[in-house]
Every structure is written in C-alpha cells, then in structure tokens.
Chain A
Amino acid sequence: MVMADVPAKIVYERPEALDPRVTHYCPGCTHGVAHRLVAEVLDEMGETGNTIGVASVGCSVFAYNYFNIDFVEAAHGRAPAMATGIKRVYPDRTVFTYQGDGDLASIGMGEIVGAASRGEGITVIFINNANYGMTGGQMAPTTLPGQKTSSSPTGRDTKRQGYPIQTAEMLSTLEGSSYIVRRSLHSSREIRRAKQAIRTAFEVQKHGLGFSLVELLSTCPTNWGMSAAQSRDWLEERMLPYYPLGDYKVSPAVAELKK
C-alpha cells in the first residue's frame, strides 16, 4: 500500500497552560481531565499569561504544580474569598478557583455564596465527586442518599444525615450570579460539552459580566472502590438523576454573549 503524501499534523499536544509533569491523581480520576480542559480554554483564549489561579484544599491542593500559571493556595473553603481579594486588586486579570465539593459546598459555603451574591467577577471550577477524596472518601454535602462512604458506612441516611446539596441550582437563585451550569466528565461527548461551558465561563469573566461557575460531575474511583470504567457508569446511573446537567443561570448579558 502506498501511503498518501500527507504532511504530518499535530492533533493533540500538551497545552501551554499545563506544566510537563506527572500528576499525583489516581488512575481514572477526572481531576486531570478538568485541569486539561481549563488549560486548553485559557490557551485558546490567549489568557494563560494573564491568569491567576486559586487552588483549594482537597485532592487538587497541588493543582498549582500542574498549571503553568501564577497560583495561590487557599485555606479549606476560602478560595472564593482569596480570589475576591486578587480580582479586586487586578480586575483586568483572569482569576479562577478550582474547588472540590467538600471545600466549596461544606466548609466554604459562606465564601462561595458571598462571592456569587456580590457578583464577583471570578470563575469557579467546581468538582463534584460525591465525597471527600483527599481525606479518604468521607461523606460530603454532595454524597447521594444511600451512598456508602467511609463516614456513612451503612449508606447516607437522610433522616440522620440530611440531603445532598444541589449547588448549581442553589447558587443560580442568587441575583449576583451570571453563569451557573452543570456538566459531567463521564464521557467524551460530555467532556466536550464541559469544555464549551468552561470557555463560556471564562468569556463571562473576560467580558466583565460577573460571577461564573461550572459544576463538573466527576469520578473518584479510588474512594468509590471501583474501576475507572465502573465509576463512569456509576456517575451516569446514580449521579445524573440527582444532579441533572444543564444551564441553571444564564443572565441576559451572558445569553447575548453566547449568541
């Protein structure tokens, strides 16, 4: 067979916004996917050198090791406050937080609600993996009813432990929020959609349109006690019904931008 004489073309490479390093994430964990999407978007927007990231406390505590971006590391839950401090001083810089569900929706609920209600011009990448990954898979505010975790060993009992928080829905009720959506990282189709949403979120910030947040349903195969493939299925079957994907808040100005 004669090979057609096509010039080689690079179709996949490391984004500039990522450092060439091996991450500490477990095999099959979607933290790495989320990092890559953020990095691709910042590169494509030409914002990589103009961005300051705020890492949070959780498995992504060392996110700053993987991004080739100026970064600070917040206390547990406080990333939106730290990002506020930076954004107010540097309104022309892109400022984003990267937070887990324990970080954002439990210990940091005050800070995220404050930032969203003020319409703080930051972007929040919110990883919902239905448990506390870093500390060994305890119950999180996002843990599903009946879901077994290391601190709800017989399954989350809603009578004693209450109900999961639907963060995107909740924050979308705040007038100050401009763009609040939920996406998922369990399939390549959803990953592409997630990337589009991340792009819109950063565009919202760049155009000074206020607070943007992308909730990303994610897997934690290690603490869920599953293989990577099983965890993707579990996400689809169990998480999607409780956490429907969709656009929960698109302010009129953002809708205009998306046209």
Chain B
Amino acid sequence: MAKELIKGNTAVAEAALRAGLEAYFGYPITPQTELLEHLSARMPEIGRPFVQAESELGAINMVYGAACTGKRVMTSSSSPGVSLMMEGLSYIAGTEVPAVLVDVVRGGPGLGNIAPAQGDYNQIVHGGGHGDYHMLVLAPASVQEAVDLTVLAFDLAEKYRHLVAVLMDGSIGQMMEPAELPPMQPMKTDIPDWAVRGTDGGEKRVLTSINLDPPAQEVMNLRLMKRWQEIEKNEVRYKGYYLDDAEYVVVGFGTAGRISLSAVRAAREKGIKVGLLRPITLAPFPNDILDELSEKAKAFLVVEMNSGQMLEDVRLVVRGRKPVEFFGRMGGVVPYPDEVLTEIKRLVDGPLTTEGHPRDRWLARLSETIG
C-alpha cells in the first residue's frame, strides 16, 4: 500500500480499525480527539460499535465489558483522562482480559495544557492503578511507528491476555507525516474459550477480579508475574543508532528520542562518537542492551519531556558504573535538537561524575535558564 500524508491520531485510529478493531469506546480530550472523531465516522460506516462514553470511567469500563467477550477492543485518551481510567485498567489486569489503550500525552500535572509531553511515563509504566500488575507499553517516535505499534498492540494483548498501552505524546498525535497504513484485516472469528457469550446450555463462564482468599489471590498474582517475566523475555523492543562505536550514549523515547537523533547526527558531524538508544517498549524496559552499553560507553545522557521519569529506570541498570546526565523539558515544552547537542557536548567536555543525582544538576542548570 502506498504512503499517504496523514495525522498521527487519524493514522492510529485507521490502523486499529484495519487491524480488526471490533468496538471502540472513548471520551473527547485534546490532543487525542481526532482519534475518537475518525472512529466515530468509520466504525458505524462498517457496522461496528462506536460509543462516546459519559466519561473516561465509563469508556474504560465499556472496554472492560467488551474485552470480556474476547473481541478486539480499545480506548484512547490523554493524560487527565487516563488518570480517570486507572481504576478500570487495574480491573482489566486483574481479570486477565486483553485490551488496548492509546495515551496521547499532554502537559501536566492537573489540567496542565494540551502541548506534547511525556509526563505519563510513571502512571503508565509504573502503575497508576492499584495492585500488582504491569502494562506492556509501546512508545512510537513517528506516525509510521505509531501505526505499526498499534497493530502490534492488539496481537500482544491477545497473545498474553494483557493490557497494552501505546504511549505517544501530543506531537505524534497531531503531526502529519507520510505513513503506510496496514491492509484491512478480517475480524477475528476465533473467540477464546474464556470469553463470555451466554452458556447456550453449556458450562457457565465467570470473569471477575475478586478473590477473597489471600492464598488463592497470591496464586493469581504469581500467574500474572510469571506472564510478565515471559513478556520481559520475549517482547523487549528498542532501536539503536550509531551504537557500535559510541563512547557516549543518549537514551530517549518517543519524540524526545527522535529529537535526540537529530542532535546525535549533528554531533557525529562534529566527530563526537555518540549513539542513541531509543526504547520502543518502555515496559518491558530494554535492560540488557543498556547493561551492555554500561560496560562500553563513557557516559549517558537521558533526554525526556518530563522531569526524568525514565531516568530512574536507566539509573537502575547503569548502577553507578558510568556517569549519567539528564536533560528534560517539562510542562509541554518540546526540546530543540540544539539544546540536546549542547548537552552532548557537555558530556564530552566534562567534568563527569557518578556522585549525586543527575536530576539535581539538571534542575540547577534549568533554574538558571527558566527560573
């Protein structure tokens, strides 16, 4: 299929539909709204359910119900709306039914603004909802990747009976780029055994997340954690750029990763041996490659559009073996490649330290510029 110039949100919506999305439930919120709007026209056109819910609470619980039928279902939202969905996400995880969530992140906390940000890393990667569960988190850096990862999200959700989140920021949602959409897939016909549909005289099926017996609940927790280990083993995805001979490594995901790539290229032109590690799965996190790089590289620079949420995951792997520095913009401010280039040069020029916390050094520098 040929490439077309298409907006990120619309592309994700159309990709989901072509991947066999059988029902969509959502609530308007910028910068995600085009996704919902596109499906509000397209889904009824081809005879599939679309519901604009009364709230994100309603939307996620509609997804929960529909997911219990084993069909391909999704919702999408942006940061404040996703906060409201945390209850439902925990229940979906606790019932082990597959579902896909697209979070088009905006500036926060609170109502914040509608500019692109990555401040939802913690709420998506490290929980948000109650109890012991994980979401599998995919982070695209372009419209094409958003399309591809949306299709993958459904496959992974079904493979593991798991929640899969596509975490993108407002700029990927809003940006127009050439992308190739997937071909129209037929809808699934195989309904898994566990899915409710009416007994038709057979054994009843019950899908629930309540388990009053702690030892039995613990067995369930163990099952979830084992599944997560399997996901950690099989599903890590990342992209490395110029890593083979890299003395310095930038780590960034999504739009921050993409901007960093421009900076890395500019630095390479100046003869700096710097590479980029761009995690595509934020959960499971690409620990192994980062561990390997921690042995080879001289220093790391983590770039994010938040206050250093992924930074903590990087530090856990690097474990003080090499200096780690941080550069971030918050509140919906998108960093320029030049700013990242300056930070790369700072790494090269030193001094570098493994003492203290990179966030403190960054905040001190940032206060001087924006304080």
Q: Are A and B physically bound partners?
A: yes
Asked whether A70 lies within 8 Å of B65 as measured between CB atoms, the reply is no
Residues of A within 8 A of B200 (CB): 49-50
Interface residues of B in 53-83 (CB under 8 A from A): 53-55, 57-69, 71, 73
Bound together, the chains give a CA A75 to CA B93 distance in angstroms of 12
Asked whether B208 lies within 8 Å of A68 as measured between CB atoms, the reply is no
Bound together, the chains give a CA A68 to CA B200 distance in angstroms of 11
**Closest residue to B97 on the A side, CB-wise?**
A72
Asked whether B204 lies within 8 Å of A86 as measured between CB atoms, the reply is no
Of the residues A50, A65, A73, A114, contact of B207 by C-beta under 8 Å: A73
Residues of B within 8 A of A70 (CB): 196-199, 204-206
The answer, yes or no, to whether B300 is at the interface (CB within 8 Å) is no
A-B contact pairs, 14 of them (CB 8 A): A19-B204, A61-B210, A71-B206, A74-B91, A78-B57, A85-B25, A85-B65, A85-B66, A85-B67, A86-B69, A93-B198, A94-B198, A110-B58, A113-B54
Count CB-based A-B contacts (< 8 Å).
139
Asked whether A88 lies within 8 Å of B87 as measured between CB atoms, the reply is no
**Closest residue to B66 on the A side, CB-wise?**
A85
Asked whether B23 lies within 8 Å of A85 as measured between CB atoms, the reply is yes
Chain B: interface size category: 35 or more
Bound together, the chains give a CA A48 to CA B198 distance in angstroms of 8
The answer, yes or no, to whether A177 is at the interface (CB within 8 Å) is no
Residues of A within 8 A of B49 (CB): 88-89
Asked whether A81 lies within 8 Å of B61 as measured between CB atoms, the reply is yes
Interface residues of A in 13-70 (CB under 8 A from B): 19, 48-52, 54-55, 61-62, 64-65, 67-70
Asked whether A81 lies within 8 Å of B62 as measured between CB atoms, the reply is yes
The answer, yes or no, to whether B209 is at the interface (CB within 8 Å) is yes
The answer, yes or no, to whether B51 is at the interface (CB within 8 Å) is yes
**Given A88-B49, A93-B197, A72–B55 Cβ distance below 8 Å?**
no
The answer, yes or no, to whether B22 is at the interface (CB within 8 Å) is yes
Closest beta carbon of chain A to B326's beta carbon, Å? 37
Bound together, the chains give a CA A149 to CA B296 distance in angstroms of 67
**Given A85-B73, A89-B49, A72–B196 Cβ distance below 8 Å?**
yes
Asked whether A114 lies within 8 Å of B54 as measured between CB atoms, the reply is yes
Closest beta carbon of chain B to A94's beta carbon, Å? 8
Residues of B within 8 A of A73 (CB): 95, 206-210
Bound together, the chains give a CA A89 to CA B65 distance in angstroms of 9
**Given A48-B199, A64-B208, A73-B210, A88–B23 Cβ distance below 8 Å?**
yes
**Closest residue to B90 on the A side, CB-wise?**
A75
Which A residues are closer than 8 A to B by beta carbons?
Answer: 19, 48-52, 54-55, 61-62, 64-65, 67-75, 78, 81-86, 88-90, 93-94, 110-111, 113-114, 118
Closest beta carbon of chain A to B297's beta carbon, Å? 46
Mark B19-41 against chain A: 1 for CB-CB distance below 8 A, else 0: 00011010000000000000000
Residues of B within 8 A of A62 (CB): 210
The answer, yes or no, to whether B332 is at the interface (CB within 8 Å) is no
Residues of A within 8 A of B67 (CB): 85
Asked whether B198 lies within 8 Å of A51 as measured between CB atoms, the reply is yes
Asked whether B199 lies within 8 Å of A89 as measured between CB atoms, the reply is no
Asked whether A72 lies within 8 Å of B66 as measured between CB atoms, the reply is no
Bound together, the chains give a CA A114 to CA B51 distance in angstroms of 11
Of the residues A61, A85, A113, contact of B61 by C-beta under 8 Å: A85
Bound together, the chains give a CA A31 to CA B205 distance in angstroms of 22
Bound together, the chains give a CA A49 to CA B197 distance in angstroms of 9
**Closest residue to A85 on the B side, CB-wise?**
B65
Residues of B within 8 A of A82 (CB): 61-62, 64-65, 68
**Closest residue to B70 on the A side, CB-wise?**
A89
The winner among B61, B73, B199 for most chain A CB atoms within 10 A is: B61
Closest beta carbon of chain A to B202's beta carbon, Å? 8
Residues of A within 8 A of B53 (CB): 81, 84, 114
Bound together, the chains give a CA A48 to CA B51 distance in angstroms of 27
Closest beta carbon of chain A to B66's beta carbon, Å? 4
Bound together, the chains give a CA A52 to CA B207 distance in angstroms of 11
**Given A72-B207, A89-B23, A49–B91 Cβ distance below 8 Å?**
no
**Closest residue to A87 on the B side, CB-wise?**
B65
**Closest residue to A86 on the B side, CB-wise?**
B65
Residues of A within 8 A of B57 (CB): 78, 81, 110-111
Residues of A within 8 A of B110 (CB): none
Closest beta carbon of chain A to B27's beta carbon, Å? 10
Asked whether B62 lies within 8 Å of A75 as measured between CB atoms, the reply is no
Closest beta carbon of chain B to A104's beta carbon, Å? 14
Bound together, the chains give a CA A86 to CA B66 distance in angstroms of 5
Instruction: Apart from A75-B88, A110-B57, list 11 A-B contacts with CB within 8 A.
Output: A49-B198, A68-B199, A70-B199, A70-B204, A75-B61, A81-B58, A84-B51, A84-B53, A89-B73, A90-B198, A110-B54
Bound together, the chains give a CA A183 to CA B202 distance in angstroms of 33
**Given A88-B49, A89-B49, A89-B66, A78–B88 Cβ distance below 8 Å?**
yes
Bound together, the chains give a CA A64 to CA B209 distance in angstroms of 12
Of the residues B58, B69, B71, B209, contact of A111 by C-beta under 8 Å: B58
